[in-house]
Amino acid sequence: MSTPDTREAPVTGEAAAITAAALALGDDALVLSHRLGEWAGAAPVLEEEVALANIALDLLGQARILLSLVGDEDELAYLREERSFRNAQLVEQPNGDFAHTIARQLYFSTYQHLLYGQLAAGDGPFAGLAAKAVKEVAYHQDHAEHWTLRLGDGTPESHDRMQRACDALWRYTGELFQPVDGLDLDHTAMESAWLDSVTAVLGKATLTVPAGPRTGAWAAGAGRQGLHTESFGRMLAEMQHLHRSHPGATW
Amino acid sequence: MTAVTAGTTGTTGAPGVSDGAVAATQAAYEAVFDAAVAADERIEPRDWMPEAYRASLVRQIAQHAHSEIIGMQPEANWITRAPSLRRKAILMAKVQDEAGHGLYLYSAAETLGTSRDELLDKLHAGRQKYSSIFNYPTLTWADVGAIGWLVDGAAITNQVPLCRCSYGPYARAMVRVCKEESFHQRQGYEALLALSNGTEAQHAMAQDAVDRWWWPSLMMFGPPDDESTHTAQAMAWKIKRHTNDELRQRFVDIAVPQAEALGLTLPDPDLRWNEERGHYDFGPIDWTEFWDVLKGNGPCNDQRLSKRRQAHEDGAWVREAAASYAEKHTGKHGEAQA
Amino acid sequence: MTSDGWPLWEVFVRSRRGLSHTHAGSLHAPDAEMALRNARDLYTRRSEGVSIWVVPSTEITASSPDEKDPFFEPSADKPYRHPTFYEIPEGVKHL
């Protein structure tokens, strides 16, 4: 009765912010890992099966740690509705051809590397996790950059495919730098570092930095607000179906 | 060293040497080879070996490698639907291992002078086989568990003796494969155990999967000894160490108590302990089904092969791109000058 | 031996500091940089190594099995190269 709301509110606010941040980062990792898992058995060469699976497994590991910080990992992954997922739209984009997958990897891992680099340097609740993840992500970025060079500066066909992929995914990259509750980061600095890095890689790969806008024209928002693209609902339907068919079961 | 000049050493006589001298040299080489095999020494890539030995190894290793990569499909079918994040991570790691095992095995085959491209072409053209077990569908999540327990269990029973195979690179690849496979079988068993101890629906799912995978798993050991065309020679060369029937019996003896511990039954009314033999007796295997699936009439033969072909064709532009990039940027020592 | 123009590489892994690199196996890669990365993913995914070498298979010069005798037999009859050749009185240490 006498407990003043004013004393509780900041604590709740902070906890809610940490939850929001953990969901944003965790959902990014969970969803991208799922997409990469779809490549199993269909990669362009056997060596790349192993590489893509390594990245998917790193991301799934990150997702499990992040989701477990704020709840039961399986409840969060399997029982939330589409609108409750906080991942950026970039990571839910379908695999497309290998060029699309690599462009998505390039954009995302460059961002994630900067993000975890900043988090690891801080003393927030994600510093410990970020210190480990930043090493994994550095490798993901390296993998994406090497493939971007080879596809961009490979054959005329691979160049065209890679350019198309970079163009198509460009509009999903702006969202990555919107402020996220609970993450005390310098988004402006991250965004300009991201642009520098991606511009340099694309240039080296003889690709053109896409000219279009980096955000969609829809004012309703994007993934971090729980608004997703059409293919995401199907992805979740597939991912959640079995778990939801057996309520309360242990696996 | 691997594949350097594999397949070229000592198979022909020097120019100008008479046929008789060549024959004498061949006989001498053969004697050295036979003695090495008899002494349980390993044959290495640059050693002289009978052409039939080489061909037999290429056939077996290729089939083994193909089985690993085709075998990714039935399990990958469930990666996107795995019911918990823990199971999903395990399954992804397992399917990844299978790609790795395929790679180790193709490498072993390459030491015999056959490139991976050639082997893949033969697989894609349907001219080389892979294990028929992968022509069965994975219809429920429990199939992932049943594959781990029964299919990997049968594979391990087959593969452990191959770690002592007379051909060095194959034996070494198998040591690596077997070390990694042990987790595959255990995770399958654990997944089935969770289902068996779970809800009624989960238990039924597990039993249904075991019912469907039991007999095909027994067929994995190949036709009975008196019908197996390759066994005798392969054993003489110490490529194979036990007959199909011996290995099949060993597997049954191991699996029966494991099934009991799972709380699941095996779909064979004739299965019972035979005190006299010290083994479990089991019912007759439907070899008609085996030969039929082998011939291409299994439920998934077309599907598996066309998915594999599709992946290979879809990846062609990627492989070409990387090769072309390397050509443009590679110095003479193979360093990409990126 | 190529996979659509990707040469074969031999992979050597140092499993931990203080040990030499040993042959782990081979793989295909378009160039050295990718070969290293593929090797890392394939041969050290269970933390089996701390350092990797990759060598194009065609760059390896191997002794021929026909030379086996002249190459390796002479050392087999020089047991005095091995410390166990020498008898040391019991109780003498640090030798």
Tell whether the model's pLDDT for residue A7 goes beyond 50. no
Residues A42-66, mean pLDDT to the nearest whole number? 96
Residue B234 backbone dihedrals phi, psi, to 5 degrees: -60, -30
pLDDT in tens, A72-112: 999 999 999 999 999 999 999 999 999 999 999 999 999 99
Least confident of A29-43, A196-210, B65-79, B317-331: B317-331
CATH number of the domain within which A40 lies = 1.20.1260.10
Give the Cα separation of A88 and B227 in Å (integer): 59
Tell whether the model's pLDDT for residue A10 goes beyond 50. no
Contact between C41 and A142 using a beta-carbon 8 Å cutoff: no
Report the percent of chain B where pLDDT is more than 90: 79
Nearest Cα of chain C lies from the Cα of A235 at a distance, in angstroms, of 27
Strands C51-56 and B272-274, sheet pairing: unpaired
Residues A53-63, mean pLDDT to the nearest whole number? 97
Tell me whether residue A7 is in a domain: no
pLDDT in tens, C35-71: 999 999 999 888 888 999 999 999 999 887 665 565 6
Cβ atoms of A34 and A97 closer than 8 Å: no
Report pLDDT for A184.
85
Tell me whether residue A120 is in a domain: yes
Report pLDDT for C73.
63
Tell me whether residue A251 is in a domain: no
Amino acid type, A154: G
Q: Which residues of B122-136 are buried (b: 16+ CB within 10 A; e: fewer)?
A: bbbeeebebbbbbbb
Quote the DSSP letter at residue C24. Answer: E
* Residue B319 sits at the chain C interface (C-beta within 8 Å): yes
Return the axis-axis angle of helices A127-152 and A156-170, rounded to nearest 10°.
140
Q: Count the Cβ atoms, other than its own, within 10 Å of residue C31.
A: 27
Q: What is the pTM of this model?
A: 0.90
Tell me whether residue A3 is in a domain: no
Tell me whether residue A102 is in a domain: yes
Quote the DSSP letter at residue A172. Answer: T
Tell whether the model's pLDDT for residue A44 goes beyond 60. yes
Residues B36-64, mean pLDDT to the nearest whole number? 93
Tell whether the model's pLDDT for residue B142 goes beyond 50. yes
Tell whether the model's pLDDT for residue A5 goes beyond 50. no
B86, B96, B317 ranked by CB distance to A158: nearest: B317
Closest CA to A229 of A19, A17, A31: A31
The DSSP result for B247-309, as a single string, is: HHHHHHHHHHHHHHHHT---S-TT-EEETTTTEEE-PPP-HHHHHHIIIIISTTHHHHHHHHH
Give the Cα separation of B246 and B224 in Å (integer): 10
Tell whether the model's pLDDT for residue B7 goes beyond 50. no
Contact between B323 and C30 using a beta-carbon 8 Å cutoff: yes
* Residue C28 sits at the chain A interface (C-beta within 8 Å): yes
Q: Select the residue from C12, C33, C53, C55 to test the B interface by mutation, using most B Cβ atoms within 10 A.
A: C33
Q: Which domains does chain B have, with CATH numbers?
A: 30-331 (1.20.1260.10)
| Complex ipTM over 0.90 | yes
pLDDT in tens, B256-310: 999 999 999 999 999 999 999 999 999 999 999 999 999 999 999 999 999 999 9
How many domains, in total, are found in chain A?
1
Tell whether the model's pLDDT for residue A251 goes beyond 90. yes
Residue ranges of the domains in chain C?
A: 6-62
CA angle B75, B81, B87 (to 5 degrees): 70
Minimum CA–CA partner of A51 in chain C? C41
Contact between B104 and C60 using a beta-carbon 8 Å cutoff: no
Report pLDDT for A206.
98
Tell whether the model's pLDDT for residue B332 goes beyond 50. no
Report pLDDT for C67.
55
Tell whether the model's pLDDT for residue A4 goes beyond 60. no
Cα dihedral sign, B10-B14-B15-B18: negative
Contact between A40 and B79 using a beta-carbon 8 Å cutoff: yes
Residues A112-140, mean pLDDT to the nearest whole number? 95
Return the axis-axis angle of helices C32-43 and A46-70, rounded to nearest 10°.
60
Task: Please report residues of B whose CB lies closer than 8 A to that of C34.
Answer: 322, 336
Q: Hey, which CATH number is domain C6-62, 3.20.20.210, 3.10.20.520, 3.40.50.2300, 3.40.1480.10?
A: 3.10.20.520
Tell me whether residue A70 is in a domain: yes
pLDDT in tens, B168-215: 999 999 999 998 888 899 999 999 999 999 999 999 999 999 999 999
Report pLDDT for A204.
98
Tell me whether residue A238 is in a domain: yes
Cβ atoms of A67 and A73 closer than 8 Å: yes
Domain ranges, residue A125:
16-245
Tell me whether residue A4 is in a domain: no
